Chains A and B, each alone.
Chain A
Amino acid sequence: MALLPLTALFEGDVLELLIPVDDGDTVEAVTGAIAHHVVGRRVAKRDAPIRLRHHGNVLDPQVTIGSAGVGPLDHVEAFYA
């Protein structure tokens, strides 16, 4: 369990954001943390699931972000699937 600062974008937004998470958080929780700062704020809400992309790979929502191979200050992108 350790702090894992990410640089994150929600697809369709323009700002790259600092999202500090715990490496034990699930990908789903990280996705939610990113969406919290963007959806309904600068990007319209949509009734669709949100996924997370890292180096072009869509991550399994249930695994932890640390075990998904995401490192400090890595760029991740949340997007409407």
Chain B
Amino acid sequence: MPKLSRSDWYDLARDTNWTFRYVTEEEVFPEELSGTHRVSTDGWLKWDEPYKIGYREYVHNQVTKDTTTYSLKNAIGRSKLFDQLDPGWKSVIVAHYGAISMPEYLASIGEARMGRFGRAAAWRNTATFGTLDEIRHGQIQTFFPYGLLDKEPRGDWALKAFHTNNWIVLAVRYLFDDMFVANDALSIALQLTFTLETGFTNLQFLGMAADAIDVGDLEFGALISSIQTDEARHAQQGEPTIKVLIENGEKEWGQFLIDHMFWRSWRIFALLTGLSMDYYTPLESRRMSFKEFIEDWVVKQFADQFRDYGLDFPWYWDEFINELTWYHHAIHLGVWNYRPTVWWNPDAGVSEAERLWLEEKYPGWNRDFGRHWDVITENVRNGDIAATLPETLPITCNLCQLPIVRAAGVIVGAHTDPAPLTHVHNGRKYLFCSEPCRWIFTQRPDRFAGHQSLIDRVLSGEISPPDLGTVLEYFGLSPEEQGQDADNYAWALNGNGTKG
């Protein structure tokens, strides 16, 4: 029997839009879950995905990808490849699995919401494939680290992390709740697929896969490549969505949603990717600095998108560009100091050779951040490790949930005032690291007001007594799981400045 080519049947099979007789449109697509009522039903019929695929092709592609990736895993599992990896790189993947595996699984909820409450059949169809993608990403990124358990027991944080209240998890979970778990279909399309996936993670996964191959981690490289190709497809739901909004005079709402989530994505990206690229990845494998990566890829990508759709750069763009030179360096200093509170081994990444690289990539790094590391290095050389560990908590931002490092902006001349920004809502005082974080909160305070930051949990007595031991227990970290310096301080102790 001759088979029809895809273009002969695709539109007919895809466009299963029903005319409702027994229920209203509002009942089928409640605004709270759909978020699409700014545009009429007819307006949504123009939604058209740029990349088309049928179920048969989808399954064929996915099976091929899985077969390749799992075969590679089986072959490598019998080798000593993981043992030979640089400790800093191991930290990259252990941090990644804990922070990303469960969010990938949760993203299937976001995709499924678009698959049910997206207003166009074409959109629901694309999102259904996206749902299957994200289930696969959650499963494969949990399965792979479990294969490492005999070599790296903290591989189980791929599953465990999101069942704890670790401070990194508080930040990541709160972001993804906002972005897709507790979000409507339209906002998910613009905030998850258009902003995070197209703008940040799709590009990051390309870079990460290349870095993994470069450091000899073929397993992680194959895994990330297999995920990236899915991301590239389902991330395209944002484009037709913003197009429909703009064509129907709702550009301003789309712009607001993108501005909101671009900043939040930047914050988490600086934490996870900024530290990985500029401090954890072995020096010889660094192809570019985090700042260069953001400028060459993320900024360019967004500039093209904004131009193509007639959108404006977010109002805080200058602040974002400015932060590329300092924000993640300050966060790194904090994370390394608080290393027992994370489930990976932070790599200080400040051997003599690495400091030269940092100064070359970020002129002024030694003046602004090297002086802190000078004090820390001295303590390590004197054997006073206790002086390099914390005894109190950092203040965290009520929006991004990350430590407030605003003072670093003062040191580099980007801010004039180190004081956290504040806002009082219903008698409660909220603290923020930056103007955009405060702006996001104050635009829709009811969306954020009930959340308890780490500091709120300490002050309310939920974490009591607020000493480091209690905090570590609250974070779900046994002594064996707590992060240590990735290189066992070789960067400070070796006179020749190598990592050891």
Contacts and interface: CB of A to CB of B under 8 A. Distances in A.
Interface in B384-436: 387-388, 390-395, 403-408, 411, 418-420, 429, 431
Nearest to A43: B375
B333 A42 contact: yes
Interface in A1-47: 5, 7, 9, 12-20, 36-37, 40-44
A73 B376 contact: no
Contacts of B406: 16
B371 interface: yes
B392 A77 contact: no
Contacts of B371: 44
Contacts of B164: none
B54 interface: no
A18 B394 contact: yes
Nearest to B388: A41
A40 B387 CA distance: 8
A7 B418 CA distance: 11
A13 B408 CA distance: 7
A73 B420 CA distance: 10
Contacts of B379: 40-41
B404 A18 contact: no
Given A7-B431, A40-B387, A14 B419 contact: no
Contacts of B458: 18
A74 to B, nearest CB: 9
Chain A CB within 10 Å, residue with most, of B333, B372, B411: B372
Given A40-B387, A44-B371, A16 B392 contact: no
Chain B CB within 10 Å, residue with most, of A14, A17, A41, A42: A14
Contact of A75 (B330, B388, B419): B419
B247 interface: no
B392 A37 contact: yes
B405 A14 contact: yes
Interface in B83-120: none
B334 interface: yes
A18 B393 contact: yes
B391 A18 contact: no
Contact of B403 (A12, A16, A73): A16
Interface residues of B, number: 35
B466 interface: yes
A9 B392 contact: no
A44 B375 contact: yes
Nearest to B376: A42
Contacts of A73: 429, 431
Nearest to B373: A42
Interface residues of A, number: 23
Nearest to B408: A14
B392 A75 contact: no
Contact of A17 (B330, B394, B466): B394
A17 B393 contact: yes
A44 B374 contact: yes
B455 interface: yes
B76 interface: no
A43 B333 CA distance: 12
Contacts of B455: 18
Nearest to B368: A14
B337 interface: yes
B376 A12 contact: no
Contacts of B333: 14-15, 42
B338 to A, nearest CB: 9
A75 B422 CA distance: 10
Given A16-B403, A16-B405, A17-B393, A40 B330 contact: no
A9 B374 contact: no
Contacts of B372: 13-14, 42-43
Contacts of B391: 36-37
12 contacts: A7-B420, A14-B333, A14-B407, A15-B334, A15-B404, A15-B407, A16-B395, A16-B403, A16-B420, A41-B388, A43-B372, A44-B374
A-B CB proximity, top 3 nearest: A14-B408, A75-B419, A16-B404
Given A16-B406, A18-B393, A72-B429, 13 more contacts: A7-B431, A14-B334, A15-B330, A15-B394, A16-B405, A18-B466, A36-B391, A40-B375, A40-B387, A41-B376, A41-B379, A41-B388, A44-B375
